[in-house]
Amino acid sequence: MNGFEKRAEQLKARIRTVVLEMLQTCEPKNIRIADIAAEAGVSQVTIYNYFGSKEELIRDVFKQYYWGKVEEFERFIEGQPSFKQFVEYIILEDKEAFRKFTPAAIQEMMRSDEEISRDIDEIYRTKGLPLVTKLIEGYKQKGEISDKVSTTAILAYINMFNAQSRMLLEQAEHSGQGDVFFEEFIHLFFYGICGIEPSL
């Protein structure tokens, strides 16, 4: 990579960082190229030259964020985490995602941009789902998960908790005892309301 290409990549990275920060507080429709340019210290023409449009730029940022998360997850599972560590990781990642993007921003992007919806679905189907399925099968072989429960049912159970994670995480923050609430949530995931934790 020559000096010109290196500088171009640095500028693109700076622009993406600014947009990612804006998405923490703004819905995509309220973000303006002029504001991005001012915050990133580049011209509006530079942004259009690199990304084509505001929509393409936001799409690029969103995709890069999720691909980055897939790569982080791949590195995480290389450490051969326990099933409990895996569940904790998913919940904490959800917490970070809700801090990176407002729920309204995510909903707007998924609703108004079919390409983003397709891309995220493809990432899930081709990378995320196979990785998680492989992990679950491994946990079943090691006895960390009951072999009486199918992988499909386990995925549905995880997705059910995931669907409510934003509400649960908000309640944890409002409780003033986030760490305690988090541990209780993990206990509920594994043992239910009346379940008894097995002695090890």
Quote the crossing angle between the two packed helices 165-175 and 83-100, to the nearest 10°.
80
Q: Does residue 151 contact residue 133 with C-beta atoms inside 8 Å?
A: yes
Q: What is the per-residue pLDDT across 114-163, written as a single tens digit (0 to 9) for each? A: 777 787 788 888 888 888 898 899 888 888 888 888 999 988 887 777 66
Classify residue 140: in a domain, yes or no: yes
At 138, list the tokens. Answer: 């491994």
Q: How high is the pLDDT of residue 16?
A: 94
Classify residue 107: in a domain, yes or no: yes
Classify residue 65: in a domain, yes or no: yes
Taking the CB of residue 134, how many other CB atoms lie within 10 A of it? Answer: 12
Classify residue 186: in a domain, yes or no: no
Which helix or strand (DSSP H or E) is residue 132 part of? helix 129-142
Q: How high is the pLDDT of residue 200?
A: 46
Mean pLDDT (the chain) is 81
Q: Which structural domain, as residue segments, surrounds residue 58? A: 3-163
Type of residue at 46: T
Q: What is the Cα 36 distance to its own chain's centre? A: 23
CATH code where residue 44 lies: 1.10.357.10
Classify residue 8: in a domain, yes or no: yes
Q: What is the DSSP string of 40-76?
A: HTS-HHHHHHHHSSHHHHHHHHHHHHHHHHHHHHHHH
Classify residue 177: in a domain, yes or no: no
Classify residue 134: in a domain, yes or no: yes
Q: Does residue 145 contact residue 151 with C-beta atoms inside 8 Å?
A: no
Q: What is the per-residue pLDDT across 165-187, written as a single tens digit (0 to 9) for each? A: 666 666 666 766 656 666 776 77
Please count the structural domains in the chain. Answer: 1
Residue 121 burial by Cβ neighbours in a 10 Å radius (0-12, 13-18, 19+): exposed
Classify residue 133: in a domain, yes or no: yes
Q: Rounded CA gap, 21 and 100, in Å?
A: 7
Q: Rounded CA gap, 11 and 109, in Å?
A: 24
